[in-house]
Amino acid sequence: MTGMSGSESPDERLRVVVVGAGAMGGEWLRMLARSAHAEPVGVVDLDVDLATRTVSSIGLADAVVGSSLADVVKRSGARAVINVTVPQAHRVVNEEAMRSGLPVLCEKPLAPTVSEALRQVALADLTGGLLMASQSRRYFRHLAAFRDAAAQLGALGAVHAQFFHEDHEPGFREQMAHPLLVDMSVHHFDMLRYLTVDEPVSVRCDSWNPPWSWFAGDAAATATFDLASGARFVYSGSRCTPGLQTSWNADWHVYGEAGAAHWDGDHLVQADAAGVAVEVGESSEGIEGALEEFVGALATGNTPQNEVRTNVMTLAMVEGAIRSSERGGDRVVLADLLEESLAQAIADERSGDVVEVLRSWPSAAEAIATPPWGTSPQSVPHASGGAR
């Protein structure tokens, strides 16, 4: 197991390199500059001028800047990598870091496809290092309160989430084939997995691009997931809706045996069920919450939420929805998608040692079921105050 090996004492901030100094890289660096848990000692971007401007605008005078991860790690003495590059670059950057023995916290989506994610699982098997996806929208105090309320409703019949937003972010998003599902719904699908103890089994989806959309790909979709318990997750979303916008976190309802609950995605949580009180606790939110879980996992050996193996099912929800939409709304079974993705991963992978690991798996489902990283059982608590 690769942990926080080396000279760090618990009181020291983890020395990290941020790869990708674009809009979100800047957000990470601003947060890290004031973090008690990690220290940004290096910044890597293909565009070194951009990285230099970002670093100086935040006042990180001592951070090492460059275009080569290996070089910046060497010069800065970094002990971990935070990958905030565009989604297509995530795998390559994660692989370089893992091969160098560095743990990685990677922005969502961990990979554009499940097969690319499985190749990273295999490399994590091989190196024993920690690769965690930063699904930062799991880390909201009001979502935790909503989850606690939902847990008191008995068996759930349905979970509904609606996301309607007017979103102008020129760059890779406006060029993607599925800017809603791949770049945004990945958050909401992951939040569903946090919210319930259920797992998605299959999906039917329809995606389209409204005529006025400024996105090249499908900016709108509806999707219905069958969950293992028999409940349904009913999702609808759009990124080009200039009116009655929801929170970035979407607007959520759960309907259960003993009542219902609602979260507006921001600060309103309501329960309509006898004896269910809503209590909002204290915890770090957004990327700060993800960072704290990552640093904590390195210090304790605990397996974090969205360790690469766990995150694969979130990505399968996204890819399953896309596949269904491309097949006219046909039902896509996620277990089938997983095994087809393993065959694709074996076909695409060029590193012999990773191919060997992929071929050794009895199935993709089994490979992602048992996280070898860390010493503790999978940590996805269903009670307030757990690691979020």
Ligand X SMILES: NC(=O)c1ccc[n+]([C@@H]2O[C@H](COP(=O)([O-])OP(=O)(O)OC[C@H]3O[C@@H](n4cnc5c(N)ncnc54)[C@H](O)[C@@H]3O)[C@@H](O)[C@H]2O)c1
Residues near ligand X (CB under 6 A) = 19-25, 44-47, 50, 84-87, 89, 92-93, 107-108, 136, 171-172, 183
In the complex with ligand X, the residue whose CB is nearer, 44 or 269, is: 44
| Least distance CB 26 / ligand X (angstroms) | 7
Q: Where are the alpha helices (DSSP H) in 226-385?
A: 286-300, 308-326, 334-348, 352-360, 364-369
Return the number of the residue (24 or 380) whose C-beta is nearest ligand X: 24
CA dihedral 109, 112, 114, 115 (to 10 degrees): -140
The residue nearest ligand X at its CB is 22
Q: How many CB atoms lie within 10 A of CB 311?
A: 28
Nearer to ligand X, 84 or 227 (CB): 84
Residue 41 CB contacts under 8 Å (≥ 6 apart), including other chains: 15, 16, 17, 62, 63, 64, 76, 77, 78
Contact 127, 119 (CB under 8 A): no
In 3D space, the residue among 98, 112, 146 whose CA is nearest the CA of residue 307 turns out to be: 98
Rounded least distance, CB 306 to ligand X, Å: 12
Residue 73 beta carbon to ligand X: minimum distance, rounded to whole angstroms: 13
Which lies closer to ligand X via its Cβ, residue 58 or residue 89? Answer: 89
Least distance (Å) between residue 96 CB and ligand X: 9
What span, in angstroms and rounded, lies between the C-alpha atoms of 132 and 112? 15
- Minimum separation from the CB atom of position 314 to ligand X (A): 13
- The DSSP secondary structure of 269-285, one letter per residue, reads EEEESTT----------
Taking the complex as a whole, how short is the minimal distance between the CB of residue 201 and ligand X, in angstroms?
26
47 or 272: whose CB is closer to ligand X? 47
Name the residue nearer to ligand X (CB basis): 45 or 95.
Answer: 45
